[in-house]
């Protein structure tokens, strides 16, 4: 039997699925790398960054980690490349580039 929603993926046999495909737990992005949808990728320049943290609360995907009051590199597993962080950064410490895969 399925332990929780984190262990269901495209390889889960139909016998282990819930009746009618019902979902019993809330959704989570931990199980899905939604950053694969992105066409533009944010690039952070730590030298220009003043650690004002304006970018972090605007990110709709929570892809800008903040630890001990300082931001870190982007979580590209979940970043969709919307560019909101780039738009709100007053120091031009973030730029958007076309992602090459």
Q: What confidence tens digit (pLDDT) does each residue in 31-82 have?
A: 677 878 889 999 999 999 999 999 999 999 899 999 999 999 999 998 999 9
Which of 54-65 are b and which e, b meaning 16 or more Cβ less than 10 Å from the residue's Cβ? ebbeebebebbe
Same domain, 55 and 69: yes
Report residue 1's pLDDT band, with 50, 70 and 90 as the boundaries: very low
Same domain, 92 and 73: yes
Same domain, 41 and 84: yes
Same domain, 14 and 56: no
Contact yes or no for 45/89 (Cβ under 8 A): no
Same domain, 94 and 59: yes
9 vs 69: which has the higher pLDDT: 69
Whether the pTM exceeds 0.85: the reply is no
pLDDT, position 12: 76
Range of the domain at 70: 33-101
Same domain, 25 and 40: no
Same domain, 46 and 95: yes
């Amino acid at each position: 039997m399925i332990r929780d929603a984190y262990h269901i993926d495209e390889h889960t046999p139909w016998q282990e699925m819930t009746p009618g495909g019902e979902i019993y737990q809330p959704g989570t992005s931990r199980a899905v790398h939604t950053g694969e949808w992105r066409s533009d990728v944010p690039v952070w320049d730590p030298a220009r960054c003043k650690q004002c943290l304006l970018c972090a609360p605007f990110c709709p995907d929570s892809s800008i980690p903040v630890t001990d009051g300082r931001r870190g590199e982007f979580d590209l597993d979940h970043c969709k490349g919307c560019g909101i962080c780039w738009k709100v950064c007053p120091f031009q410490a973030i730029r958007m580039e076309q992602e090459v895969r």
